Amino acid sequence: MLDFAIFAVTFVVALIAAAFYLYPGSRKITTVPGPDSSDEKYGNIPDITKHGSMFEFLKAQHNKYGRIMSFWFYEQLVVSIYGPELFKECSALFDLPKRLFSLFQPLITEHSINLTNGAEARRRHKLYSKVLQNPTALRKYLDIINDECRRNSETLREVPEDEHISLLNSSIVLSSRMSYRLLFGFDKSAEEGRRLTENYRFIWDYLEKSLSPNFMQDTEQFERRKNEVHAAVKNSLENRVGKGDGLFVDVLLENVEEKEVQIADAVTMLVGGLHTTGTTITWALYFLMTNPRVKETLMREIFDVLGDDPIDFEKFNQLTYVKNVIKETLRLSKLATWSGRISNVEITLGGHKIPPNTPIMIANAVSHDSEEIWKDKDQFMPERFDENVEPFQFEPFGFAGKRKCPGHKLSMLEMTVSLTTLLRDFEWSLVPGHEKVGFKFGLVTIPDKEIWVTIKPRK
């Protein structure tokens, strides 16, 4: 009888413990602090909406609970971390939390490398990293980037000096044409570039708003625009068969058999290039126009290193201040607000045991916005990167050696050459009244209003 009573009590306690852990509104069986769920179905999503964005929610909770905290993403417990020490502790993890990245699934589909884990994800990541990072490929890509920048400058020279230009649109049109040619080997006309930009901006805005419980879906228009992007990519893949030249598309077609996987990974890489390059150029030009001292230093380096010469690899490696400007732009703009990892076994972070299969949110933007980590964090100071930055202090492309963005070297090449060319060819000025611009935080941080500029060709 005593044995049965002990068994019964143990069983009930186990059920209660399981209920506390699995039911979002209850206490969690974890020592990681954080807010309770505010909604049985949506978890802390209503709180995220009230704060305005995921970044603002994470920042508020980390300010309250410290560098490691937990919250509820719908019904899923999530642990969020920031800071070099905690980033280092999970740097060996490779797999991505599909529950968090499901936000992107309507666009990139479930076949995307960003929604794939395990051996197959490692195989494709290694494959794409090699073709996007090896020196021979980068030299070939540099020729394409220089040519696209030249074509873009020719177009901009036709713009009247008093015409107002949308800085974000202009930058994304350049990055869309450049990314498409780098990945698929095909030129895009100015009109096709504008159309791709329009579709991208609508789709991205739709995905960001879909996080809100009160989101009113315009599914028909989303599907139409998404299908247009997918059709363009599919057509490019089909026309590329048999024309191997060592580009990303050629490696994709040679090593990935499933058509749906080809399209999914091609769209994933294209979107990654669009928002990284285009938005970073936008913020960099804005920060330079509002920081004359930094701009003067940058222009001095550009003309000292390049003169009238084209940008080759030797010159690219000498543009150290330009690269520091780009790094500081990525930091100050908090461009990529978060990434994620997951482990199928229990791990320890910050002294806390994290249950298996718990999504870990890497709060990059919170780390980049921390006064404890970055002195004078709100100042645009590219010189801070002249000094040795602590390992894992600045990782805008993910963690080195594991699942770092396969295109991070290509992206830095694109941004450096594009920014240098735009500044060497034109004088950029803000339209009066547009000197003060804030941040609109989302999946990618963009200006909270259009930045209107005028340009004047340099003689």
Q: How far is CA 324 from CA 9, 48, 179, 412, in A?
A: 62, 33, 22, 11
Q: Residues 6 or more apart from 330 whose CB is under 8 A from it?
A: 280, 336, 368, 396
Assess contact for 117 and 96: CB atoms under 8 A. yes
Which amino acid is it at 94? F
Q: What is the DSSP letter of 430?
A: E
Phi/psi at 369 (nearest 5 deg)? -105, 10
Q: Helices (H) and strands (E) in the chain — how many of each? A: 18, 11
What is the arrangement of strands in the sheet containing 452-457, beginning at the earlier edge strand?
165-166, 452-457, 426-430
Q: Report how far apart, in Å, the C-alpha atoms of 68 and of each of 86, 145, 379, 423 are.
A: 8, 41, 26, 41
Asked if 205 and 225 touch (Cβ cutoff 8 Å), the reply is: no
Q: What is the token pair recorded at 172?
A: 């994304």
Positions at the binding site for heme? 405
Reported as half-sphere exposure (CB side, CA atoms, 13 A), residue 447 has a value of 24
Quick check: helix, strand or coil at residue 255?
helix
Query: What are residue 68's DSSP bridge partners?
Result: 81
82 close to 48: Cβ distance less than 8 angstroms: no
Binding residues: 405
Compute CA distances 263 → 113, 246, 268, 394, whole Å: 11, 18, 8, 31
- Based on its alpha-carbon atoms, the radius of gyration of the chain, rounded to whole angstroms, reads 23
Kindly state the tokens that stand for 406.
């396969």
CA torsion through residues 153, 155, 160, 164, sign:
negative
